A and B are shown apart, each in its own frame.
Chain A
Amino acid sequence: MIPVEHYVLLSSVLFVIGGIGFLVRRNVIVTLMSIEVMLNAANLALVAFNRSRLRHAVEQSAPGASHTGQVFAFFIIAAEAAEVAVGLAIVLSLYRLRRTVRSDEADLLKN
């Protein structure tokens, strides 16, 4: 049986990989995909902790406490769909204006 540490370890490694990609890459599409990686890692940690704290929630017998992490992950997925839609629209708009998808050439507000 896999203990919860392994899930959390995997999740944190994925988060660090996504964060490094977000900081190092300059292609806006790759940056958005790195954010996806980070949010997926957060979802994995939420669901794993939900499963591991299950007995605690049942003992407390708080209504609805049994699925809190999963519901949270569900809302993260919804927010992320919205973020990707708006982000890719901004990428298209930037490309139309500057013929580039590099984040360091998006300096329309500079000077």
Chain B
Amino acid sequence: MGALGTIYFYVCALTALAGALSVVIAKNPIRGAMGLLALILSIAGLFLALHAQFLAAIQLIVYAGAIVVLFLFVIMLLGPSAATPSDRRGLATRIFGGGLFGLAGLAGIALVTTAWNAAKHPFPLPEPDASFGGIDAFGSVLFADALVPFEVSSALLMVAVVGAIAVARGRQGVASMSKSEQEVARTTSAPSSSPKAGASGTGVFSHEIHAADPDHAKEPSA
């Protein structure tokens, strides 16, 4: 188990690093999404090694099954324009910022590593009992101690779904109509200009009704 576990860890760790690097480096966002998928799968493997079986399953279902697919949907929807052409404007600033962040991160890692080496003993992971991290143990904690955050997170997800629909649906108002449709909508919305407006011209889709109705569209010019 010892040697096998070590090999398993390093395979997962190298896959995760390669995936993360390809997310950051890839020019084509589809390759980036595939790198993200590799990262997510290997993190799920590491969760299994850490006795978090339920979280590994959730990771596969939510990330690989929903989030990566959502990314791919959007990339496919945008088509070739999802891959932006490279240009060098502001490159120095961005490299400077990224480099500063990377140096700070590496300094933090080095600091923690020296502290660990000074402690001079490794921190081995204790072996938990077999039920640790399974649905029973996890669920009894989730529905007892974390019940309120759990309910709040359901509200968060609902608000996010409503917000995503409201943002992605786009404008349905006057601004999204063509010029002639706008004119029709403006003249028919005035109360006395059109006798038919009250009968058929109200509601969200009234501009479509007026645009589809040829003699009603001609009416303002007559």
Contact = CB atoms under 8 A, between A and B. Distances in A.
Contacts of A9: 109, 113
Contacts of A55: 126
B187 interface: no
Contact of A44 (B32, B43, B66, B141): B43
B67 interface: yes
A8 B6 CA distance: 15
A40 B43 contact: yes
Interface stretch (B156-164, B177-185, B200-208, B213-221): B156-164
A110 interface: no
B211 interface: no
Interface residues of A, number: 75
Contacts of A93: 167-168, 170
Given A4-B125, A16-B106, A81-B67, A27 B84 contact: yes
A34 B23 contact: yes
Nearest to B128: A54
Task: Point out which of A5, A10, A12 has the most chain B C-beta atoms below 10 A from its C-beta.
Answer: A10
A92 B79 CA distance: 12
Contacts of A16: 101-102, 105-106, 109
Contacts of B174: none
Contact of B32 (A12, A30, A63, A75): A30
B96 to A, nearest CB: 9
Contacts of B138: 67, 70-71, 74
Contact of A91 (B9, B74, B150): B74
B158 to A, nearest CB: 9
A20 B101 contact: yes
Given A52-B123, A86-B163, A89-B165, 4 more contacts: A51-B52, A67-B132, A75-B150, A81-B157
* Chain A to chain B: the 6 pairs with minimum beta-carbon distance, closest first: A21-B24, A82-B160, A16-B105, A64-B145, A89-B168, A89-B167
13 contacts: A10-B17, A12-B108, A29-B29, A36-B67, A37-B23, A44-B43, A51-B126, A67-B138, A67-B142, A75-B149, A77-B58, A86-B163, A89-B165
